[in-house]
Amino acid sequence: MTERDTSPPPDFIRAIIAQDLKTGKNAGRVVTRFPPEPNGYLHIGHAKSICLNFGIASEHKGGICHLRFDDTNPTKEEIEYIDSIKKDIKWLGFEWGDHLYYASDYFERLYEYALQLIKAGSAYVCDLSAEEIRQTRGTLTEPGKESPYRQRSIKENLDLFERMRKGEFEDGSRVLRAKIDMASPNLNMRDPVIYRILKAAHPRTGDKWCIYPMYDFTHPLSDSIEGITHSICTLEFEDHRPLYDWFLDKLKVKSHPQQIEFARLNLSYTVMSKRKLLELVEQRYVTGWDDPRMPTISGLRRRGYTPESIRNFCERIGVAKRDSIVDMALLEHSIREDLNEKAPRVMAVLRPLKVIIDNYPKDKTEEFEILNHPNNPAMGSRNIPFSREIYIEQGDFLEDPPKRFFRLAPNREVRLRAAYFITCVDVVKDEKTGEIKELHCTYDPATRGGDAPDRRKVKGTLHWVSAPHSLPAEVRLYDRLFTKANPTGEKNGADFKAYLNPNSLEILTSSRVEPSLAGAKPEDRYQFERQGYFCVDSIDSKPDALVFNRTVTLRDSWAKIEKGMRRLSIFSFMDKV
Ligand code: ATP
Ligand code: MG
């Protein structure tokens, strides 16, 4: 058995690569690349591409995945983005080693290739404006019109292109176009622009250039220069593939990589385009690219997601050729599954209600030992202090409980997790507002540890913290960023921001956590019993003022969906019987 036999059946891309290896194409090499444009932070969609490209490389002996910044658009790109992209890829668990490249490093060679095209009569300088080029491009049903500059001599084209480089002409006054076919049924082949004049400084090449190559020209040539074997991209580039191949066929290149397209990841209840995410950042709908509500890698990280959970999610969704929207519940399921195993359990009271245990000695403190993980004793245990005054969750008490409410109520007995049974004997309210201020209870000393010797049962078990021992904390409850599953899919181009969830963040400032969290460090992750998974905020949390982010609640809607599907498939199986 080979290594790959243990993983799920290969997707269609891995199947193509396996076939290429079998037939000896590319001399047995597998070289992929991840080519982000540094004009924003990476999002979960990019993670799919990263897992695919770096994943494939790692599955083959000698396989390599390049990190290449596609930095051909100087006006939108920033060093901050380059740094964040590198950081996020490493955090996801992938390494490019020595294979870090920049398309801008190829500017000189790309210019040489452009000259080659001109000399071959396959490119010309065109003086039409951007608007005129658009207007003469034709439509899906009508051919385009040839530019009046299409028949310029090679000599004139060489002269003009060189002077474009020297900065003799204004932005937008001239472009270099490939000379292909204005009547092609594929619009991308209708003499596409390959160079434009843009007098803007580039983060890496400074003022050296005032002409910049277009993506469709840069990409195949960068792939070829680097000896990429399989150039994996998203479906919207399928129609660009003939152009990708045209450049490589026309020019004298050493290698001709194969472009393969797959469906991009779409996720419900969020948006995935960098332009839209930038809009949310710039217009301050979120606090930044790493806002825990963002679908960015840095946002998910700050929210408490682990690299493993994101990699597992990407493996689960698979790679296909058909566009679809993946349910956010599946991403949430992946982090729950991971944290269920890894996160130590602790007690935290998010909305505290003071409980005074009248018959418990005033100056007494005792400790209860609790396992850090119920199913994994190897994760150790800790001691939790208990005293006469504790906090419970406001929602765990009702003065007038409905039938199926099994938590605390007047004259009712419940268990305090790992401690004692208590019974509520009095409710103290604010005279003016009628708001419940504190509860008085009695405890049964015979139930120490949380069990009654007479085996009497209680229906509810509550989490709690000792009031004087607990630590104050701020807790940020995050919910989905949008109220609609597909905020960009609305008809008539309704603004996606109209569907922002006004309740995507609730900040609780008076929460209390058990004292064992005193040493909690940024990004430490916990399960707050009965509440969900939380992590220490990496930016705002301080040792003496802890801030926790809710990663995800405990309710698993995906598990329900899956169960439903299983039931469904049983039915369809029964139908067949
Ligand atoms: P966006 O549309 O979000 O701005 P992009 O495609 O312009 O994304 P790039 O920086 O060009 O962003 O993307 C780098 C790589 O990541 C490309 O190979 C692209 O195909 C891939 N990628 C981008 N978005 C997704 C996605 N949602 N699912 C899978 N792959 C993606
Ligand atoms: Mg792009």
| Tens of pLDDT, residues 330-360 | 999 999 999 999 999 999 999 999 999 999 9
- Res 576: pLDDT: 35
Q: State whether the beta carbon of 476 lies less than 6 angstroms from ligand 1.
A: no
Q: Is the pLDDT of residue 573 over 50?
A: no
Please tell me the residue having the least CA distance from ligand 1 atom 1.
273
Mean pLDDT value of segment 282-301: 98
What letter does residue 500 receive in the DSSP assignment?
B
Whether the domain at 12-262 and the domain at 274-345+474-560 fall into the same CATH topology = no
Confidence band for 559, pLDDT divided at 50, 70 and 90: low
Q: Is the pLDDT of residue 570 over 50?
A: no
Q: State whether the beta carbon of 233 lies less than 6 angstroms from ligand 1.
A: yes
Q: Is the pLDDT of residue 571 over 60?
A: no
Say whether 37 is catalytic: yes
Q: Which ligand 1 atom minimizes the distance to the CA of 49? A: 30
Q: Which ligand 1 atom minimizes the distance to the CA of 273? A: 3
Q: 457 to each of 400, 414, 450, 530, how far by Cα in Å?
A: 21, 9, 11, 20
Average confidence score pLDDT of the chain: 94
CATH, domain range 348-463:
2.40.240.10
**CA pair distance 54, 82, nearest whole angstrom:** 18
Query: Domain 12-262 classified CATH 3.40.50.620?
Result: yes
Choose one of 11, 42, 46, 54 to mutate for the ligand 1 pocket test, by most ligand atoms within 8 angstroms of C-beta.
46
CA 38 to ligand 1 centroid distance, Å: 11
Helix (H, G, I), strand (E, B) or coil at 126: strand
Q: Which ligand 1 atom minimizes the distance to the CA of 35? A: 14
Q: State whether the beta carbon of 264 lies less than 6 angstroms from ligand 1.
A: yes
pLDDT tens, 355-400?
999 999 999 999 999 999 999 999 999 999 999 999 999 999 999 9
Q: Which fold has domain 274-345+474-560?
A: Ribosomal Protein L25; Chain P (2.40.240)
Q: What predicted TM-score, i.e. pTM, was given to this entire model?
A: 0.93
Q: What's the 3-state SS for 169-207?
A: CCCCCCEEEECCCCCCCCHHHCCCEEEEECCCCECCCEC
Q: For residue 439, give both structure tokens.
A: 């509860």
Catalytic residue among 14, 174, 241, 274: 274
Domain spans of the chain?
12-262, 274-345+474-560, 348-463
CB 212 within 8 A of CB 190: no
